[in-house]
Structure 1
Amino acid sequence: MSGNDRQAMEQERLARQGKRKREPSPVPASNLELFNPLEGQDDAWQLGEPVDDFVRRLPPYTTSISTCPWIWAANPYRNPRDKSPSPRVQDFTSRGTELLQQSLQTRRDIQKEGAKGPRGMVTKQLLQESKALQERISDLAKDTHVLSGKAICVYTKDFLDADDVLRVLHELETMGLINVGRTIYYKPDAYTYLDLRRETAAEYGLQASLYNSRTLLAANKVSKPSSFPQKKQLTLKK
């Protein structure tokens, strides 16, 4: 089936869905610009493919990791005004690895020079270096357009946009996908490319995740999303 055929099927499905709900569609189905960046990939949902067929084709519980490590579904509603440049992953990874090595050496120097001094001063300097490293990684990610990130593998476009991360978190909460008393974590792809995980992030004084549901939701109770701190000022830890 061609991409055009799948697009026509998806538009027809959306039109039928709109009739069933008897709600006016904000944009006529005929004017929707549907786009699937994963078109043709066997491990991804395709335009016009019913959800039931997709799940039968790639059942999450029984599909072997050797068949496909991940099962993907991309948002088909492309914003025609979105001219975001493509991420330069190789550039980010190369320069980011250098940042990690430089920071690691700085941490060693701090510990060496402060070995005979007050322990509290060393701790303070290490914390300052950790915050500075996080800022440098964020700046590099912005420069190379490596800005996507996920909560339980639900992707958002820009991990620096804390308001958008909170919006998605609220949607997950509304859908009943967040268990009471259980925290979920948000990790930028930038950290994944630098192999910053729980076992390695602590070496740099970082957390493997940038946000967590417990802290985000708690902060939102005392501050509405519209009055959230600016993107780079919001630093949340586990």
Structure 2
Amino acid sequence: MDSDSDFYGDEETISVLEARVEDFDIVAWWDCRNDMTSYLRSTMQPQNTTQIAAPLYNAYEGEPGAWRLSESIEQFLARLPPATTDWRPGLDWIWIANPYIPPGPGSTRAQFREGGAERLRLLDEFAKMATVSAAKASGKPLNMLRKDLAKERRETVEDLRELAVACNVVTGKWMLFADPGYVNDVWARVARATANNQLGIGAKVETRVESEKARLICVYTRDFRDKDDVARVLNRMRELELVRPGRQIYYKSDAWTELGIYGGNNWGIQASMYSSNEIFSYIKSVASRPS
């Protein structure tokens, strides 16, 4: 390129381009563009730019001790502070639901209680007969009797778990015990995290019966079989400083609560399903797996 004129072309090229400019119909060009734009718009799906708020749920709506969707969390905590809210008939617990989780399918708890009680009765009968049999057969070692009882107990637990699944009694809860002087603070952290969809499906705290009694707080998960979700909730509780190092807490299924299986029960069945130490070990094992 020897000169600026070479950039625009020779005189013949410039003459042709100038003629094209003079003949260009800008109105027709815009009309064509408008027609094409209209066509493209007609073939596109309309976009709904309006944001639709997600529906909120309250599984405990109407309960005297429950959070209401119409009030803020701070209003709820001020209305029902567990440190000073006394027990009365119908107000055993203060409840809060996770408003982002819809209620699950209904459960047949009465059927589960009936079937579960019958299975526990069979365990009782087996234990009595095995004990009598061992007493008559003096040559049968005591450790053999213990093995037989342990085997029957394991089978009972498995049967009860299957029955719980069949009756959809699969919710469970992490259990915290808060000192009376700190129960408002602990409950406030649980309530806020539950309302913000950071924990499980709901939570509850005992109302006051004795001023010096530690208060039970339950943090619920949807399904005791979902170990990853159980672990997720526990880990979030640790982040919220609800679970402290060296202080173990326990997870219990609602199925066991329905059947009255508590610590030291006559059947020798472990009352809790998981411990926090066990689940923290599970979290470490999952984290160390190769991706």
Amino acid at match of 2:253: P
Counterpart residue number, 1:110: 130
Larger RCO, structure (CA 8 Å, separation 6 or more): 2
CA deviation string 1:165-190 (max 9, x = no partner): 11111111111100211111111111
Counterpart residue number, 1:216: 279
C-alpha deviation, 1:114, in angstroms: 2.7
Q: Judge conservation of contact 1:147–1:160 (CA < 8 Å) in 2.
A: yes
User: Which of 50, 56, 60 is the matching residue for 2:78?
Assistant: 56
Amino acid at match of 1:214: N
Moved more, 110-119 or 209-218: 110-119
Q: Indicate the structure (1 or 2) with the bigger Cα radius of gyration.
A: 2
* Aligned length, in residue pairs: 194
Q: Judge conservation of contact 1:163–1:225 (CA < 8 Å) in 2.
A: no
Q: Judge conservation of contact 1:149–1:157 (CA < 8 Å) in 2.
A: yes
Q: SS at the partner of 1:204? A: coil
Q: SS at the partner of 2:120? A: helix
Counterpart residue number, 1:137: 160
C-alpha deviation, 1:45, in angstroms: 0.5
Q: SS at the partner of 2:261? A: coil
Q: Judge conservation of contact 1:33–1:78 (CA < 8 Å) in 2.
A: no
C-alpha deviation, 1:43, in angstroms: 0.8
**Measured at CA, do residues 204 and 29 of structure 1 come closer, stay the same or move farther in structure 2, by a change above 3 Å?**
farther
Partner Cα distance (1:78, 1:142) in 2: 20
Kindly report the root-mean-square deviation, in angstroms, between the aligned alpha carbons of the 2 structures.
Answer: 2.0
Amino acid at match of 1:205: G
Amino acid at match of 1:195: G
Counterpart residue number, 2:249: 184
Q: Structure 1: state its 5+ residue gaps.
A: 1-27, 228-238
With the length of structure 1 as denominator, give the TM-score of the two structures.
0.76
Identity of aligned residues (%): 37
Partner Cα distance (1:205, 1:195) in 2: 13
Partner Cα distance (1:226, 1:97) in 2: 41
C-alpha deviation, 1:225, in angstroms: 6.8
User: Which of 160, 169, 177 is the matching residue for 1:146?
Assistant: 169
Moved more, 119-128 or 173-182: 119-128
Partner Cα distance (1:210, 1:196) in 2: 11
Q: Judge conservation of contact 1:87–1:146 (CA < 8 Å) in 2.
A: yes
Partner Cα distance (2:59, 2:96) in 1: 10
With the length of structure 2 as denominator, give the TM-score of the two structures.
0.62
Q: SS at the partner of 1:155? A: strand
Q: Structure 2: state its 5+ residue gaps.
A: 1-49, 176-217
CA deviation string 1:142-199 (max 9, x = no partner): 0000111110210011112222211111111111100211111111111111111114
Map 1:4-23 → 2, pairs under 5 A: none
Partner Cα distance (1:150, 1:225) in 2: 23
Partner Cα distance (2:245, 2:252) in 1: 21
C-alpha deviation, 1:75, in angstroms: 0.9
Amino acid at match of 1:58: L
**Measured at CA, do residues 29 and 61 of structure 1 come closer, stay the same or move farther in structure 2, by a change above 3 Å?**
farther
Q: SS at the partner of 1:34? A: coil
Amino acid at match of 1:220: I
**Measured at CA, do residues 154 and 120 of structure 1 come closer, stay the same or move farther in structure 2, by a change above 3 Å?**
same
C-alpha deviation, 1:42, in angstroms: 2.2
Matched, 1:171 2:236: yes
C-alpha deviation, 1:226, in angstroms: 10
Matched, 1:206 2:229: no
Counterpart residue number, 1:77: 100
Amino acid at match of 1:63: T
Amino acid at match of 1:192: T
Query: After TM superposition, which residue ranges in structure 1, 4 or more long, deviate above 4 angstroms?
Result: none
Amino acid at match of 2:111: D
